[in-house]
Amino acid sequence: MMPWPFELDFMQRALIAGLAIGIAAPLVGTFLVQRRMALFGDGIGHAAFAGVGAGLLLDVWPTWTALAVAVGGALIVEWLRSHGRATSDLALALLFYSGLALGSILLAKSGSSSIGRDQYLFGSVLTANANDVRTVVLLAITIVLIVAVAARALFAVVLDEETARVNGLPVDRLNLLLAALTAVTVVAAIDVVGTLLVAALMVLPVATSRLLATSFRRTLLLASVGGAVSVIAGLSASRGFDLAPGGSIVLFAVALFVVVSLVRGVRTAPASNEHTHQH
């Protein structure tokens, strides 16, 4: 028997799905932030919204149509970026607006209610059934395993793409892998925080961990810890104060960043000059 606020079945399901995403999403986000592509997940989230609309209209499971559209959109954006056909922000803008516009049309055509629309936009982790949780956990485990294998190579690429290319690392394939991982993360997180807030879980814990970590390995680890803490705190607040769980989780991630920034600022400001190693 788990203690309050996770003593009820629906809260336990929410906790399991939330922790899976809270741990996995910042792992992918760490590489996006380092590449200055923090909003990439947001763009993919909008594409996934169109995929959800397509699934509802075609009466197939929306998670899988969202996954197909999100992965397709991510690969197209990465291709446009890497081949110089569009700048990163322009490619993302294309994805943002076309995804949202298409999603709204498809959802309206499918006859989905505004409540149904909101659950995809902002998450509905408290109503997740066992099947939803299994899917989220399966996708999260896939993400963690792939990152565990590819983390060093992805780091080498974000560190210096040109040198990695000269050395013979498969830079284009690794970039596509990161784009696909982002898409899988977004879709896995739809139930937890929704397509509009999904990028927050990929980025905010990373921003916090970068304030604390002194190595890339620890950045990954602390980002996952921050994501998990935000999920636990957000779900607790959601239960205690009857708040929307997705929004609560993201606001706790923001609060964690603010608190760590303030504490770190107070602790390091007087000594910052001493610690900088200059020759």
Partner 1 sequence: MKSINGSTHRRVTDIPNAQASNTMNSTTGPALVANYLSFSFDATPVLDNVNFTVNRGEFVALVGPNGSGKSTLIRILVGLLRASSGTVEVLGCEPRMLRERWRIGYVPQRPALTGDLPATVEEVIQAGRLARRGWWKTFRQADHDAVDHALAAVALTDLRKRPVTQLSGGEQQRVMIAKALAGEPDLLVLDEPIAGVDKEAQRQFRDSVVHLVAHHQATVLLVSHELGAVAADLDRVIVLKRSVIFDGTPAELTSRGVSLGIHHDDLPLWLEDLEVPGAT
- What is the spatial distance between Cα 188 and Cα 135, in angstroms, rounded to a whole number? 8
CA distance 162 to 202: 26
What would the two tokens of residue 174 be?
């690794």
Q: Which stretch binds partner 1 (CB under 8 A): 80-88, 119-127, 147-155, 240-248?
A: 147-155
C-alpha span between 2 and 109 (Å, rounded): 43
Instruction: Write down the least CB distance from residue 218 to partner 1, Å.
Output: 8
- Determine if 213 is a binding residue for partner 1 (CB under 8 A): yes
Q: Which of residues 80-139 bind partner 1 (CB under 8 A)?
A: none
Task: For residue 155, state whether it binds partner 1 (rule: CB under 8 A).
Answer: yes
| Smallest distance, partner 1 to C-beta of residue 151, A | 10
Answer yes or no whether residue 59 interacts with partner 1 by CB under 8 A: no
Interface with partner 1, residue 169, by CB under 8 A: yes
Decide: is 267 part of the binding site for partner 1 (CB under 8 A). no
221 binds partner 1 (CB under 8 A): no
Our CB check for partner 1 shows the closer of 79 and 155 to be 155
65 is a contact residue toward partner 1 (CB under 8 A):
no
Nearer to partner 1, 109 or 152 (CB): 152
Closest CA to 208 of 189, 200, 159: 200
Q: Does 255 bind partner 1 (CB under 8 A)?
A: no
CB of 62 to partner 1, least distance (A): 33
- Report if residue 243 touches partner 1, rule: CB under 8 A: no
Q: Looking at beta carbons only, is 149 or 266 nearer to partner 1?
A: 149
| Interface with partner 1: number of residues (CB under 8 A) | 33
Q: Is 149 in the site for partner 1 (CB under 8 A)?
A: yes
Query: Would you tell me which residues interact with partner 1 (CB under 8 A)?
Result: 34, 149-150, 152-153, 155-156, 159-160, 162-170, 174, 209-210, 213-219, 275-279
